[in-house]
Amino acid sequence: MTAKIVIIGAGIGGLVASLLLAQAGLDVTVCEAAPTPGGKLRQVTAGGATIDAGPTVFTLRPVFEAIFAMAGARLEEHLTLEPLDCLARHAWEDGATLDLFADLEKSAAAIADFAGATAAAGYRAFSARARKIFETLDFSFMQTHQPRLAGLIRNAGPAHLGGLLNLSPFSNMWDELGRYFANPRLRQLFARYATYCGSSPFSAPATLMLIAHAERLGVWRIAGGMFRLAEVLVRLAEARGANFRFNAKVSDVITRNGRVCGARLASGETLPADAVIANADLAAINAGYLGPAARDAVAGMMKNATRSLSALTWAISGAAEGCPLAHHNVFFSNDYKAEFAEIAGKKLPTDPTIYICAPNPGAFFCLVNAPPVGDAGNPTQAEEDACLNIVLRKLQRCGLTLRPDAITRTGPQDFETMFQATGGALYGRALTNWKDSFARPGAKTKLPGLYLAGGAIHPGPGLPMAAISGRLAATRLLEDFGSTRTSFQVDMPGGTSMR
């Protein structure tokens, strides 16, 4: 008999799991509370323009190529990925700008012009270090089922054991960056990578420097917008037999004789299932939003967890004048430490670092980091309005005049509504020390038949990582169901091997 699987949530983790399980021949139903797939991978409209309002930086293409290959498809036949030569343009209020490129030497030359030859040498050393960390953790940690420290050492093998000892897990990113960058602006620029995981560079472990390498491996834009990724995954999963139900909120994971036997929708309808994959945020499961059985199954998994950052975002249609924008742009605060101290104090920063994606003429996506306090009714609308004024004035000081015609705002309270019990935290638990990376749960729970996938689950947040978590959940489930398709071994160009 074909196993029936219910997947709760059509975020990237749920979508990848649905595709792989449908490919393996299982009877898959995805229940998504929202009217559209994607979760945080979302788009909104502003003044008639459709603008990506979630992830904008597409990295680690091989992760997606491998997942598509496992499903018997080719990424390039479904999505047009356009590589970006300029990874991001960085700017400060005194008019200083610095572009970083996928090409290391091009970036080194730009850094030499910006801050001198010593700074360029520091950048080369930093890049070598970031690469080493990435290569050490890629297979031993990111691609494997939630390893503990001992497992990490075993997985690293002799080739990467030295690298493991060199990870500097005990120093924070900010301190470690000081070893490479005497120039405060360069230190600030590279510290920003910690926020990709929703963490503060002042507490995140230095291992997060690996994100700089992930970005240097390439940043792409998706023709038609990032949301195409969600649409394509749905289409491919449907073509393999998966059934998608939107506006279908699950209220309960139901059990019989100590194992999962189905899911109950908020409408009262019951869907029988041999297994359930929960792509809802771990915080929501922990708070009981999927019922007592699921809550008990994740008991303790949020222990000592600090919420990751939230964001205040504006999708804007309108005009921009002044400094030319790249696809990705960052306008830095004058005092990074003060900015994160304010956020830690549960306030919107008074001088925020501003990210702007400019995907098309007349369309902009603007983001500042914000405290995850949406469940406490904060920040208020008045505070968010004030923040927008601060942002527009700061941009002007940086040489950019944004003239919005229409704005669609999403803040911590909105994120809390979409992703319950998170306060608007967008990346699961923040990494505040080396142990936090090991504290994310793996795909399997102690409740037989309940699996987890998503950015709060190992290996962590960001589209590629959440996609990997979906793959790991699908693999675990297939192993448990004794499927002949437990291993989707795919050998990728460049030696990346994925299971």
- Residues near ligand FAD (CB under 6 A): 8-13, 31-34, 39-41, 54-57, 249-250, 279-281, 284, 289-290, 311, 313, 367, 419, 426, 454-455, 461-463, 466
Q: Which is nearer to ligand FAD, 160 or 281 (CB)?
A: 281
- The residue written with tokens 């360029």 in the block is 120
* Shortest reach from residue 12's CB to ligand FAD, in Å: 4
Q: Which is nearer to ligand FAD, 13 or 205 (CB)?
A: 13
Q: Which residue type, as a one-letter code, is found at position 60?
A: L
Residue 61: alpha-carbon gap to chain centroid: 14
* Shortest reach from residue 462's CB to ligand FAD, in Å: 4
Cis peptide bond prior to 359, omega within 30° of 0: no
* Shortest reach from residue 186's CB to ligand FAD, in Å: 22
Torsions phi, psi for 170 (to 5 deg)? -90, -10
The residues near 324 (Cβ < 8 Å, ≥ 6 apart) are none
Q: Which is nearer to ligand FAD, 180 or 415 (CB)?
A: 415
Q: Which is nearer to ligand FAD, 33 or 67 (CB)?
A: 33
* Shortest reach from residue 241's CB to ligand FAD, in Å: 20
Pairing of strands 400-410, 243-245: unpaired
Q: Which is nearer to ligand FAD, 280 or 387 (CB)?
A: 280
Q: Which is nearer to ligand FAD, 54 or 122 (CB)?
A: 54
d(CA 123, CA 273): 52
Cβ atoms of 409 and 364 within 8 Å: the answer is no
Q: Please count the CA atoms within 13 angstroms of the CA of 367 that sit on its side-chain side.
A: 24
* Shortest reach from residue 283's CB to ligand FAD, in Å: 10
Q: Which is nearer to ligand FAD, 70 or 290 (CB)?
A: 290
Cβ atoms of 114 and 96 within 8 Å: the answer is yes
* Shortest reach from residue 313's CB to ligand FAD, in Å: 5
Q: Which is nearer to ligand FAD, 120 or 452 (CB)?
A: 452
Q: Which is nearer to ligand FAD, 245 or 337 (CB)?
A: 245
* Shortest reach from residue 102's CB to ligand FAD, in Å: 16
Cβ atoms of 388 and 396 within 8 Å: the answer is no
Nearest to 456 by CA among 484, 430, 478, 485: 430
d(CA 365, CA 358): 7
Q: Which is nearer to ligand FAD, 55 or 442 (CB)?
A: 55
* Shortest reach from residue 359's CB to ligand FAD, in Å: 12
d(CA 182, CA 186): 8
* Shortest reach from residue 428's CB to ligand FAD, in Å: 8
| Integer angstrom CA distances of residue 414 from 315, 316, 383, 410, 421 | 14, 17, 14, 6, 12
| Integer angstrom CA distances of residue 197 from 193, 400, 456 | 8, 28, 10
Nearest to 359 by CA among 189, 218, 226, 217: 226
Structure-block tokens of residue 124 = 């080369």
Per-residue b or e along 35-69, where b marks 16 or more CB atoms closer than 10 Å to that residue's CB:
ebbbbbbbbbebbebbbbbbbbbbbbbbbbbbbbb
d(CA 387, CA 222): 30
Q: Which is nearer to ligand FAD, 56 or 168 (CB)?
A: 56
- The residue written with tokens 């699908």 in the block is 474
d(CA 192, CA 207): 13
Cβ atoms of 436 and 194 within 8 Å: the answer is no
The helices-and-strands tally (H runs, E runs) of the chain is 17, 21
* Shortest reach from residue 180's CB to ligand FAD, in Å: 24
* Shortest reach from residue 158's CB to ligand FAD, in Å: 32
* Shortest reach from residue 372's CB to ligand FAD, in Å: 12
Q: Which is nearer to ligand FAD, 108 or 230 (CB)?
A: 230
